[in-house]
Chain A
């Protein structure tokens, strides 16, 4: 390891590793953020539809009564 880490090629080596980190973390962040958002939207929509369905079946039951 030693001095070559900061030697004459450091200006080329470190940007390579930095960019690799950026690409991997970027892909991960974008994908996980989208997953989180989709799960939240799906839950909200399913809850709204479930609520509507419950209200409709309650109204049907009232009409029958």
Chain B
């Protein structure tokens, strides 16, 4: 009985944020604080990154870690966000979840590319090569292609609804790659080192290097949250603009005016 009652309540609480007007007001109120916190975390993290001691083996090349590792975490975190948003959109047909998935995809692709390039820039002096086809590097490259596929497929259909559903299914199927990335260094013999921070027991990294790394990761995550809100606002306003244009054309009696393919949301 209690489980039957819990499901509609959960759906109701999810749909409280489906109202675009409420979402826009919440985003406008949150964004200045997010940007300030992001700037502060990145500033403190950068000072820490350039004042932390150099590694006794890697020398100053260890400073690449402070941007490479947060980019890698964000690449996986963004894909996880897209997968969760896609599941919510498919199961509960939450309109903002679809927008979140579409808005996050280019951000995730950018940070995955950043992770690959900075990893390459570290690999050349440390491993003696820009690239190896080891499990970690290859699975991150696959993640980058998944992002590109997600972006392409969402816009590949004349019917925008079908495009969104196909992209959501791709996101869910592709999510299998995220644990593969995480555990690739344990499951296979890779050139890439195993986890240093997120492992059972104490992190294998000295606190003087750990705090700048975690602060930079926080800054990157806050940047993601802020840019996602801005891009979701863009998606909402773009949708509203298309609907207004279609309504305007319809009033003039022009053909094809109703073919926006966008769900009509209540604006407030």
Contact = CB atoms under 8 A, between A and B. Distances in A.
B190 interface: no
Contacts of B63: 9, 13, 16
Interface stretch (B1-9, B161-169, B234-242): B234-242
A19 B117 contact: yes
A39 B227 CA distance: 17
A43 B51 CA distance: 48
Interface in A20-36: 20, 23-24, 26-28, 31-32, 34-35
> A interface, how many residues as a size bin?
20 to 34
B114 A23 contact: yes
Nearest to A44: B241
B61 interface: yes
B147 interface: no
B59 A20 contact: no
Nearest to B247: A49
B46 to A, nearest CB: 8
Contacts of A63: none
Contacts, number: 84
A64 interface: no
B237 to A, nearest CB: 4
B245 A12 contact: no
Interface string A4-23: 11011110110111011001
Contacts of B244: 42, 45-46, 49
Nearest to A20: B67
Interface string B39-51: 0000000000011
Nearest to B118: A16
Q: Which of B106, B110, B234, B248 has the most CB of A within 10 A?
A: B234
B125 A24 contact: no
Given A16-B118, A19-B118, A9 B241 contact: no
A16 B245 CA distance: 44
Contacts of B259: none
Contacts of A39: 237
B230 A13 contact: no
A58 interface: no
Contact of B121 (A15, A34, A35, A45): A15
19 contacts: A1-B50, A4-B60, A8-B60, A12-B122, A13-B121, A16-B67, A17-B67, A20-B67, A23-B110, A23-B114, A31-B230, A34-B234, A35-B230, A35-B233, A38-B234, A38-B238, A38-B241, A45-B244, A49-B244
Given A5-B50, A13-B121, A16-B121, 17 more contacts: A1-B50, A4-B59, A12-B61, A12-B121, A13-B61, A16-B122, A19-B114, A20-B67, A20-B114, A23-B111, A23-B113, A24-B223, A27-B227, A31-B227, A32-B230, A39-B237, A45-B241
The 9 lowest CB-CB distance pairs between A and B, nearest first, are: A4-B60, A9-B61, A38-B237, A16-B118, A20-B67, A12-B121, A9-B60, A16-B64, A31-B230
